Amino acid sequence: MLGWIHADDGCSYNMMLCESQVLVMIRLGLEIRWKEPHTEVTRMVAAVTKRDGDSVTVSVTVRLDGPMLESEEAIQGALNEAGMLLEQENLVRFDTDGSPIQVGPVRLTSKGQSPQVYETPYGPVSVERHVYQTAQGGKTYCPLENDARLILNATPRWAKVVSYKYASLGADSVVDDLRECNGRTISNRYCKMLGDAVGTFATAKEEAWNYELPEFDRPVASAAVGVDGTCMLLLDDGWRLAMTGTIALYDSEGERLHTIYLGATPEYGKEAFHTRFVRELDRVKAQYPDIPYVGLGDGAADNWSFLSPLTDRQLVDFYHASEYVGKASAAMFSGRKRGKERAAWLEDRLHRLKHKQGAASRLLEEMEQFAASHTIRGQQLLSGLKSAITYFRNQKPRMNYSYHTGRCQPIGSGVTEAACKVLIKQRFCKSGSRWKEEGASAVLSIRSLKLTPGRWSAFWKRISQYGYTHQSA
């Protein structure tokens, strides 16, 4: 990571970079000579010139001439070359001196040093490191890989970069992006393998790693809780319903402060998703036990059976209700000449529904009376009015919008419905995409961490603290 650049003279620059705990000083000697375009432009040399405790000095010389773009790409290559040297130094400091070590109750002795190639943000690095084993043989153990928090054969930063991109892009697109933007070449198979490893580990640690809520500059006054489903295409089972859930925190003015996103691949019965969601909600309630929790949904019966025991009040999404009032208005004021009358009625009834106590009951009664006393021409109009009456009959107990608007509490489930798009559709429903459950679950875990503010960085801090353990799919 580039920290600062200071110009000493016209062709020499001092640059400070930091990687983990190592202070790095790089001097770039830039020899500039103008030549005809499209001539050979680059000669790169990088070498460690000094070691002083935790400080490492690397010298990089780049010869620049020719087109600007080619020179910039030469600089990128030179910095990657320097980065590989520094990462080699960085990795070695996590190795042992070869002395016997104790891992839990087991004593291990070194089998000597052997070479291993590790992937870094700058390129592959070969390191001689100690590998340990018990006196009886069996599985080997590498302290360097454990203490440096490597994931597969990748450094933490490289695993973080690749998995972050893979959560949003297909493997082929990630490979193209890294090659074009970072000068790094990896295979799409490796990209998927590394991304899946990070996501599977995130899923495994979801229960144990209790992510703290951020500090807010205003008090939390209410919470909206919602679940919803959307379809994704599985390789073996075809189109199935994936689940999303959100827990949104609001201030006293009704402004959203924070949202926790949770997603799950298709499962029969939704038991695993419901267990995870309840665990997440319980953590929020433990921190904010005195605020009201409002369950918001689109009207599906199974949503209410799940949300009712978890929330203080339940509310059907106001905008779903509005759509049904719109269908009723089309039947009650049919014909082009009644367009203005219809619009005025619709605006008035929606305003009452939103702000007046008992408005849902009065509106239902009005629709029922109209249906009983008028002959409605057109099957579509009649069907629309009937569906509105049915919807209001079923959802009327969850239409007390005036209570919530008067307290600046949410009345719409848009946050949860948007989660269906940002968690599921944008990544899993690209053209031609079909998923295996394990791969989809891994990517979905990463997307949930990315979308929930603060969680992605918190996840990697915990890896730095506790390390990585390979999880079987």
Quote the tokens at residue 402.
Answer: 């005036």
Tell the burial category of 427 from Cβ atoms under 10 Å away from its Cβ (0-12, 13-18, 19+): buried
Indicate the pairing of strand 222-234 with strand 238-250.
Answer: antiparallel
Q: Do 383 and 327 reside in the same domain of the chain?
A: yes
Residues 382 and 240 in one domain: no
Matching residue, tokens 């010139």: 49
Asked if 233 and 309 sit in the same domain, the reply is yes
H helices, E strands: number in the chain: 16, 14
Q: Is 218 helix (H, G, I), strand (E, B) or coil?
A: coil
9 within domain boundaries: yes
- β-sheet with 55-64: strand ranges across: 2-7, 12-19, 22-32, 55-64, 44-52
- Calculate what percentage of the chain has a pLDDT beyond 70: 90
Would you say residue 432 has pLDDT above 90?
no
**3 state SS of 473:** coil
* Domain-located, residue 216: no
> Which of 16-30, 169-183, 202-216 is modeled with the greatest confidence?
169-183
Asked if 184 and 37 sit in the same domain, the reply is no
Are 445 and 461 in a shared domain?
no
Residue 36 lies in a domain: yes
Q: Does a structural domain hold residue 465?
A: yes
Q: Are residues 416 and 289 in the same domain?
A: yes
The better pLDDT of the pair 416, 64 is held by 416
Place of tokens 């239902």: 364
Rounded (10°) angle between helices 437-451 and 188-204: 70
Torsion of CA 123, 128, 134, 137, to 10 degrees: 80
| Count of domains observed in the chain | 5
The full length of the chain comes to 473
Residue 27: the pLDDT is: 40
Return the ∠ at Cα 196 (arms to 123 and 450), rounded to 5°. 90
| pLDDT reported for residue 81 | 94
Give yes or no for a contact between 440 and 265, defined as CB atoms under 8 angstroms apart.
yes
Does 327 lie in the same domain as 241?
Answer: no
Do residues 309 and 170 share a domain?
Answer: no
Mean pLDDT to the nearest integer, 161-172:
96
Region 3-16: what's the mean pLDDT? 33
Closest CA to 117 of 109, 106, 125: 125
> Quick one: pLDDT band at residue 470, thresholds 50, 70, 90?
confident
Distance CA 423, CA 446 (A): 10
pLDDT digits (tens, 9 = 90+) for 19-46: 333 333 434 333 333 233 333 434 446 8
Environment class of 298 (CB within 10 Å of its CB; exposed 0-12, middle 13-18, buried 19+): middle
Residues 104-129 have pLDDT tens digits of 999 999 999 999 999 999 999 999 99
> What's the pLDDT at 17?
34
pLDDT at residue number 9: 34
* 235 and 291 both lie in a single domain: yes
Assess if residue 52 is contained within a domain. yes
Give a yes or no: residue 242 inside a domain.
yes
What's phi and psi for 289, nearest 5 deg? -75, -15
Whole-angstrom distance, CA of residue 160 vs CA of residue 302: 37
Backbone angles phi, psi at 266, to 5 degrees: -60, 140
Unique residue bearing structure tokens 């990088």: 46
- Among 92, 116, 137, residue at a domain's last position: 92
At 4 the pLDDT is 33
Q: What is the mean pLDDT of the chain?
A: 89
Question: What's the average model confidence in pLDDT over 377-388?
Answer: 94
Could you please report the per-residue DSSP string of 295-340? EEESS-HHHHHHHGGG-SEEEE-HHHHHHHHHHHHHHHT-SGGGHH
State the Cα–Cα distance between residues 217 and 446, nearest whole angstrom.
27
Other beta carbons within 10 angstroms of residue 12's beta carbon come to 12
Q: Does the CA dihedral 401-407-412-413 come out positive or negative?
A: negative
340 within a domain of the structure (yes/no): yes
Segment 253-310, tens digit of pLDDT:
999 999 999 999 999 989 999 999 999 999 999 999 999 999 999 988 999 999 999 9
Dihedral (CA of 354, 356, 361, 363) sign: negative
Give dist(CA 113, CA 465) in Å, integer.
Answer: 26
What CATH code is carried by the domain that includes residue 421?
3.30.420
**Distance (Å, whole) CA 348 – CA 40:** 74
Answer yes or no: are the C-beta atoms of 360 and 318 closer than 8 Å.
no
Q: In whole angstroms, what is the distance from residue 126 CA to residue 141 CA?
A: 18
CA-nearest of 170, 257, 155, 173 to 215 is 257
* pLDDT value of position 433: 86
Q: What is the pTM of this model?
A: 0.85
- Strand runs labelled E in 22-170: 22-32, 44-52, 55-64, 101-103, 106-119, 124-134, 137-141
Q: Which 8-state DSSP code applies to residue 277?
A: H
pLDDT score for 473:
53
Burial 127-156 (b: 16+ CB within 10 A, else e): bebbbbeeeeeeeebbbbbeebbbbbbbbb
Mean pLDDT of 346-369: 97
* Angle ∠(129,132,136) on CA atoms, nearest 5: 155
Mean pLDDT of 138-158: 96
Same domain? 45 vs 57: yes
In whole angstroms, give the CA distance from residue 27 to residue 394. Answer: 73
Q: Residue 359 is part of which domain span?
A: 318-405
Domain-terminating residue out of 132, 148, 164: 148
For the residues 82-109, what does the mean pLDDT come to? 95
Q: Is residue 217 one of the residues assigned to a domain?
A: no
Both 101 and 43 in one domain: the answer is no
Distance CA 444, CA 52 (A): 44
Task: Note whether 12 and 141 are same-domain residues.
Answer: no
In one-letter notation, the amino acid at residue 468 is Y
